[in-house]
Amino acid sequence: MVRLTIPSVGLAAVAVVLLMSACTTQTNVTFTTNVEAAEVRLDHSPIGETPVQRRLSNGIWYDPQVVIQAEGYREIRSKLQRELKVLNAVSGIIFWPIWLMAYGPQPTQHFVLQPEEIESME
């Protein structure tokens, strides 16, 4: 009888790749601005004042609207700056669903607020 087995080294390598990729389904994202204590909201839900950090999904479907507000400054409405998550892309070669987590937010999201224009009363 012939017995087929997976080499233990190969099995260990696959296990390490899967474990490492499982840890990268989210990214710690820090929101900063040029103005202290600007309010940050994601999809209309306040998350705090700058600088503030949140753990966000790397899922390709996750693309919340970011709103930044501070008194005396113009409001910013934007999407997250995103990047390719290399470990997830490589792991996706072995275990394809990880590809769904291969394009997530950049760890630092910096926004520059502009002062509101003061209209003269002429």
Q: Which residue has the higher pLDDT, 33 or 122?
A: 33
Does residue 116 fall inside a structural domain? no
Give me the number of domains the chain comprises.
1
Interatomic CA distance for residues 54 and 62, integer angstroms: 14
Tokens 């990880």, located at residue = 98
Residue 35 scores a pLDDT above 90: yes
Which domain does 73 fall in, by range?
Answer: 10-111
Does residue 3 fall inside a structural domain? no
Does residue 1 fall inside a structural domain? no
Q: What are the distances in angstroms from CA 23 to CA 16, 19, 58?
A: 11, 7, 11
Q: Which residue has the higher pLDDT, 76 or 118?
A: 76
Does residue 64 fall inside a structural domain? yes
The structure tokens listed for 109 are: 């999201």
Does residue 2 fall inside a structural domain? no
What's the predicted TM-score (pTM) here? 0.75
CB 80 within 8 A of CB 66: yes
Write out pLDDT tens, residues 59-76.
Answer: 989 999 999 999 999 999
Residue 85 scores a pLDDT above 60: yes
Cross-strand bridge partners of residue 110: 32
